[in-house]
Structure 1
Amino acid sequence: MPAFPREELEDMVEHWLEANRRCERLGDWRPLADLYTEDATYGWNIGPNQDFMAVGREEIRELALGSEMGGLDGWRYPYQSILIDDRRGEVVGFWKQVADARRPDGTPYEVAGIGGSWFRYAGGRRWAWQRDWFDLGNVTAVFVEMMKADVLSDGMRRRLERAASGGPVPGCYPRGESPVPLWGG
């Protein structure tokens, strides 16, 4: 775990945040893949029996930022706090998940709880890996509420249908069987 100058990590974080805001405006998260190394990995847990893992920049682009973020166009992920460990070359960011759809009272649909990302920096304005966490129960509750209110995007409906089909979903693995462990790597 190499150390990096704090200024370099702070610059990467600002670069990352601006790229996130740009992708939010575009409604397309795939351009973020350019901020990972060619052999980077990106994963998260999907409950007690399943993990997601994308291996390599192009899988990150197509699976993590394409298929998995599909239907979340219009959603915002404002970072609330960021912690930088320059000795380990790691960054942790805490974010919210806020939909563009609004409830009848005018408030946005928002996932309760804390979401976040843990990154390992590789140098050169690239991440070596990223691991996310979020409260699956609260995510599910918001999606069900949005479904009942008939405000899900077509992309989100397709994504949920794919997940409910029981068929294989690229990048999803039985817990503990992903090609790279969730804890680092």
Structure 2
Amino acid sequence: MTAFPRAELDAMVARWLEANRECEAVGDWRPLADLYTEDATYGWNIGPDQDFMAVGRDEIRDIALGSEMGGLDGWTYPYQSILVDEKEGMVVGFWKQIADAKRADGSPYEVAGIGGSWFRYAGDGRWSWQRDWFDLGNVTAVFIEMLKAGVLSDGMKRRLDRAAAGGPIPGYYPRGEAPVPIW
């Protein structure tokens, strides 16, 4: 691993957070792809038998930030804490997942537990990889609660329909068979 100046990593984190706020505001996450190297990878685990992996900036833009974030317009992902390791060129951020829809009591729908992203910095203001984690059980519970309340977005309903159809979904792989390992 290559060491990077702390100021460079701090500037990258600030740039990343600002880009996230801009994407949240317009409901389109795809512009974040510009902050990855051309050959970057972005993945997460989907449960005991499945992983997601996007390989290359185009797949990150189209699949991870396009299809997979589709239906989450209006959601925010405020970072709660960020750890920077300039010796290893890594950043870990802990975030919440908060919907724009509100419960009858006025509280927002929010995914319980801890979500986060682990990044490897490549230099030149770009990530070479990102790995996310979140509690799939809590995510599912919130989506079901929102569906029952009639506040799930049309985009998220389309995503759920796509998953229920049982056909292949781009970027989804049986555990251990993704083109790039999670670890």
Deviations 1:108-165 (CA, angstroms, capped at 9, x unpaired): 0000000000000000110000000000000000000000001011000000110111
Give the corresponding residue for 2:106. Answer: 106
Paired residue type of 2:75:
W
Give the corresponding residue for 2:50. Answer: 50
Equivalent-residue separation in structure 1 for 2:72 and 2:120 (angstroms): 25
Q: 1:32-51 alignment to 2 at 5 Å? A: 32-51=32-51
Equivalent-residue separation in structure 1 for 2:131 and 2:138 (angstroms): 19
Deviations 1:34-76 (CA, angstroms, capped at 9, x unpaired): 0000000000000000000000000000000000000000000
Equivalent-residue separation in structure 1 for 2:104 and 2:174 (angstroms): 39
Paired residue type of 1:38:
E
Give the corresponding residue for 1:16. Answer: 16
Deviation at 1:92, TM superposition (A): 0.1
Equivalent-residue separation in structure 2 for 1:32 and 1:123 (angstroms): 16
Give the corresponding residue for 2:172. Answer: 172
Q: How many pairs are equivalent?
A: 183
Equivalent-residue separation in structure 2 for 1:24 and 1:125 (angstroms): 20
Q: 1:19-168 alignment to 2 at 5 Å? A: 19-168=19-168
Deviation at 1:21, TM superposition (A): 0.2
Equivalent-residue separation in structure 2 for 1:135 and 1:161 (angstroms): 21
Paired residue type of 1:119:
F
Equivalent-residue separation in structure 2 for 1:26 and 1:145 (angstroms): 25
Deviation at 1:101, TM superposition (A): 0.2
Equivalent-residue separation in structure 2 for 1:68 and 1:164 (angstroms): 15
Say what the alpha-carbon RMSD is for the aligned residues.
Answer: 0.3
Equivalent-residue separation in structure 2 for 1:40 and 1:31 (angstroms): 15
Name structure 1 gaps, 5 residues minimum.
Answer: none
Q: Secondary structure at the match of 1:160?
A: helix
Same amino acid, percent of matched pairs:
80
Deviation at 1:23, TM superposition (A): 0.1
Paired residue type of 1:49:
D
TM norm structure 2: 1.00
Displacement over 4 Å in runs of 4+: none
Equivalent-residue separation in structure 2 for 1:138 and 1:73 (angstroms): 19
